[in-house]
Chain A
Amino acid sequence: MPGLEDLYREIILDHYRSPRNKGELESPPATRVEGFNPLCGDEIVVYVDVEDDTVKDIRIGGQGCSISQSSASMMSAAVKGKSLAEVKGLTKAFKAMMSIHEQSLDGEGEGLEESGESGIDPSEIADVPEEVKLGDLEALRGVVKFPVRIKCATLSWNTLAQGIDEATAG
């Protein structure tokens, strides 16, 4: 049975205590997008500045639990300065990690395989580029053992994807 230490790794708590890239960017020129987790009421705000197909800068606002806040913090550090293609690859790799269907849960995932709680469509995690390194984000791997928390971890990523879509539209 998964325990708290599977969920709350030290690096997660560190990002929760000291969130990276917290704050706001002037928008415009940056794009401001809000994300909501309807289950728990968490709200996140992503400010993303896209220039020359690159995430030039990013800031995170809003409130949430340790999982959603640390995921947002780690995401901001991981995508800052990366090309949009690299961000897309990271997003796929992260969502693949969060997808119960794709995970072998060290034999501990009894009964979880059929859960639809992740809200991740298989098309979102097809063809993950092999060279992608998740780095610190690997610490969130334990979240899949707590299905109701997966949406906490993916909230900032979905919000970022929406922000990039808006920033690059038209």
Chain B
Amino acid sequence: MNEAGSTGSAGLDVDRIRKDFPILSRDVRGTRLVYLDSANTSQKPQSVLDAMDRYYERSNANVHRGTYLIAQEATDALEGARGIVRRFIGAPSDRNVVFTKNATEAMNLVVRAWGTKHLREGDAVVLTEMEHHANIVPWHQLAEAIGIELRWIPVTDEGHLDTADLDRLLDGAKVLSFTAMSNVLGTVTPVAELVARAHDAGAIAIVDASQHVPHIATDVQAWGADFVAFTGHKLLGPTGIGVLYGTEEILEATPPFLGGGEMILNVTKDGFTHTELPWKFEAGTPMIAEAVGLGAACEYLTGLGMDAVRQHEVELTAYTLRTLTERFGDDVTIHGPSEPAARGGVFSFAYKDIHPHDLTQVFDEHGVCVRAGHHCAKPLMRALGVNATARASLYVYNDTDDIDALADAMDAAGQFFSF
């Protein structure tokens, strides 16, 4: 148990942080809301909500075209947010930061636009068994369209990537596309090393960083990846905004994804010329308020300090693993790495023989929000030998009380389903 009066960690003052999130002060079913589903979507601090309100209340106009004052303010708000995101992930220029609807759209942009142009029948794309469907299904679609070959890096029993056979898998491959942190196991993968291995083999490297960017300081240049995709709503931002980072070289070599307004330099009856980066990939009126919200979210996290965020989550991860193991022993199975520093705060688990759906239904009675299901990672579920898991996940506003509430709800579920 934690020391009296403090529910935080050396990393963060969680009591203070919780006050920044209006939703955390509501109750559900007469009990405190215990939100443990941030790997699914995160809650939003007041500063993000205020930034979006302020944009609509004071500066709402379309961007990149009006000559009047508020149109300039709207353009500045959108492009200002791009600059904040660029600094947050260590990109060299705003030209490298493309706004998309979410990480899934970013992955589809890469596969459809870059993949269709640069891949041919028989070309190999290497994925891992722990990918989210967003980094699987677009490749399946491309395979159906042009006949690429998919190869898979397996996962060890401990939940790490099994790279023993990586040289053979990468031999002749054109792409290595992989997650920086598993949304099911929490496994943090060796991104820079994998990118280097891909490049050595002549393949490009694509990183799904949806679970990484919100939780661990991210430097896309240090990774050396060609493309990095992530979403805004998992990092305290609103839904409807994601980011595709790409190197200048690869973005220039990628044709536009969607066509329409905003992305053109000139249009005639005979054809069109697309505009420069990054707007070449942003057809139509963009998600301006959402970009503003994402910028505010990055600033909030920068204010906390990403190193402190990581330290907090490693400590709370250790507490979670220890608490569940001590209280439930062999009745609980937690998938993924056992070493807190090797993983993020994502816990897929099984408890007794209680189906995850039934487990999380009982949790809901106790105000505890935990996801049940396959977490959009069915190939990984198959590798783990399960159909579904319950998954609890942490963020900056969670503390040891939340973990204790989870354990209490597990106790209640165990009693309810004791037969």
Contacts and interface: CB of A to CB of B under 8 A. Distances in A.
For chain B, the bracket of interface size reads 10 to 19
A65 B419 contact: no
A33 B49 CA distance: 48
B101 interface: no
A64 B373 contact: no
Interface in B167-186: none
Interface in B359-406: 361-362, 365, 372-374, 378, 381, 387-388
Contact of B378 (A8, A41, A65): A41
A43 B362 contact: no
A52 B361 CA distance: 42
B355 interface: yes
A7 interface: yes
Contacts of A39: 373
B29 A1 contact: yes
A41 B388 contact: yes
B374 A41 contact: yes
Nearest to A3: B365
B357 interface: yes
Interface in A98-155: 146, 149, 152
B416 A40 contact: no
B387 A146 contact: no
B372 A4 contact: no
A113 B416 CA distance: 30
Given A63-B387, A67-B357, A8 B381 contact: no
Contact of A65 (B358, B374, B381, B416): B358
17 contacts: A4-B362, A8-B358, A8-B416, A13-B417, A17-B419, A39-B373, A40-B356, A40-B387, A41-B378, A41-B387, A42-B388, A64-B357, A66-B355, A66-B417, A67-B358, A149-B357, A149-B361
Given A66-B355, A66-B417, A149-B361, 4 more contacts: A7-B361, A13-B419, A64-B387, A66-B357
